[in-house]
Chain A
């Protein structure tokens, strides 16, 4: 088990390093600098700025300097928000983004899993067919389409919920963004759960449990749920990536002060270091999450534990 974990961790390191290296050199290869203005700066000021941000050093020194900074959690200064470091900006948005993303993830797993199970148990019923059609719709309609439509319906049309904003304690303003963020993932998880539950229910050990006279409820809960949940578990990595990507849009649409909003602003303003910092931060987060899912998979699937 520990061996497995260690191997997985070793596998994650080159990925992370590649991410950082690719992102860094892409940034340096980009045409134009962060200080290009319509009016050229006086050469002395230009040189002072370059020196201040270490842009006058050779590329390899900048790269290793950046790597060294990363090791201390230093992502460099933001080019646009003068006086703020990228790490500070990310830290200020992180709690909000985390709350949004974690709620959406939990909602997606619970609701998607539940709906998938129910559909599998009532296979080919009207409920099943309707749910799968809805799930297809959920997969096809991206959350930047869902989000404004939800606002249009529930905030502007019915006036039940606020159309945007974010407070640290209220629940009302979190409902729509979390729902919009979770919907596509609910759809995917429901489909996965249904397919794998149907497969599991056809297995021999389920027939044995049935022959023993166990009620269906107990069969599903005690015997079928764990093996059937494995494909869902392995989807959690991509789901996390989807939620992180989706949160960029959702934060934009609902005006939520998280990392995603900084990211979009930085991308539009060509704030190179901030874009780079967020990409690396999110990349590392997703890689870490995948690693954790791998570990969890090992503990849930006894076959993996033995080999």
Chain B
């Protein structure tokens, strides 16, 4: 690509130091201005979600009986972003909703990582008939309308937040399993795996110690891209009233509340909608940029 990374790499090599692929990827990522901006916005968003409910003068679930119900944004009364229809502070609610949405995104991604990496690595490493069987199962599951399955799960087993994590994670691992399997099949033929076999390592140990650590790059990229997907699913459920329950809230639930009252309090829709959209946009940008940066063919 451009000369700067090459000169940096060459300079490092001349000094007798190797540049690890991770370092190269980081360098490439840093030069992608959109990705850096996305990362900064995301960090700010996380900080806001964590600290917002503390710095706000109003808690997220308390009704301000002295103020106007559905007050417009402004500095008066301490409601920086206004209040919702019921007179609750929108800034605090949006930050608190962000906590839930981001938490669901991370937790469910983690669940899908654990299942997907384990499943894909086993199928890819062992191969043969087991692999064919396992991947056929993935194909079949892939064809199911998975959003409906999440809804089915929440309808049948109640609307507990933990269940939402599990349900989303449990249906979101298919992509990860496919990608990991493909990567593992390449790794299996490498010399260090032969060396491990020769030195007597068991299959489980090889997968754990040699295969999985080498999958990290791919896994990081797809985890980044899976977080916005999961946030979407959670907010979809919450929008329909099947997700988090009052007084707890998430961005999806807030957008839903805002949509019901948009004629009188349009900011109750616009504020959480922009937080949600901005976060998803940044996550997608960052995921794309990470994928490009970690691709050894680029740069």
Binding site for B on A (CB under 8 A): 12, 14-15, 18-19, 22-23, 26-27, 29-31, 136-137, 139-142, 144-145, 147-149, 151-152, 156, 241, 244-245, 248-249, 252-253, 263-264, 267-268, 270, 272, 275-276, 278-279, 282-283, 286-287, 290
Contacts and interface: CB of A to CB of B under 8 A. Distances in A.
Contacts of A142: 232, 235-236, 276, 280
B156 A152 contact: no
B87 to A, nearest CB: 21
B113 interface: no
Contacts of B266: 152, 156
B143 A287 contact: yes
B239 A144 contact: yes
B255 A145 contact: yes
Nearest to B281: A140
Interface in B269-292: 269-270, 273, 276-277, 280-281, 283-285
A132 to B, nearest CB: 11
Interface of B: 140-141, 143-145, 147-149, 151-158, 228, 232, 235-236, 239-242, 252, 255-256, 258-259, 262-263, 266, 269-270, 273, 276-277, 280-281, 283-285
B155 A275 contact: yes
Given A26-B153, A136-B281, A152 B262 contact: yes
A26 B143 contact: no
B144 A148 contact: no
B235 A144 contact: yes
A267 B284 contact: no
A253 B156 CA distance: 24
A279 B239 contact: no
B155 A245 contact: no
Contacts, number: 122
Contacts of A140: 228, 277, 280-281, 283-284
Given A267-B154, A282-B145, A282-B148, 5 more contacts: A148-B255, A148-B262, A241-B147, A272-B156, A279-B151
Contacts of B155: 30, 267, 270, 272, 275
B262 A156 contact: yes
Contact of B240 (A18, A29, A249): A249
B241 A283 contact: no
A149 B273 contact: yes
Nearest to B280: A140
Contacts of A156: 262-263, 266
A140 B145 CA distance: 20
B259 A283 contact: no
Q: Is the interface of B mostly helix, strand, loop or mixed?
A: helix
A286 B145 contact: yes
B92 to A, nearest CB: 21
Nearest to A29: B156
A289 to B, nearest CB: 10
A137 B240 contact: no
Contacts of B240: 248-249, 252, 264, 267
Question: What are the nearest 7 A-B pairs in CB distance?
Answer: A30-B156, A148-B259, A140-B280, A140-B281, A245-B147, A15-B143, A279-B148
Given A148-B259, A249-B240, A279 B145 contact: yes
A244 B283 CA distance: 25
Nearest to B241: A268
Contacts of B270: 149, 152
Nearest to B282: A140
Contacts of B228: 140
Contacts of A30: 155-157
Contacts of B263: 156
Contact of B156 (A26, A136, A149, A278): A26
A245 B144 contact: no
Nearest to A152: B262
Contact of B151 (A14, A15, A29, A275): A275
A269 B149 CA distance: 17
B6 to A, nearest CB: 23
21 contacts: A15-B144, A18-B144, A22-B144, A22-B149, A23-B149, A29-B156, A30-B155, A140-B283, A141-B277, A141-B281, A145-B277, A148-B262, A148-B273, A152-B269, A156-B262, A241-B147, A245-B236, A249-B240, A252-B240, A267-B242, A272-B156
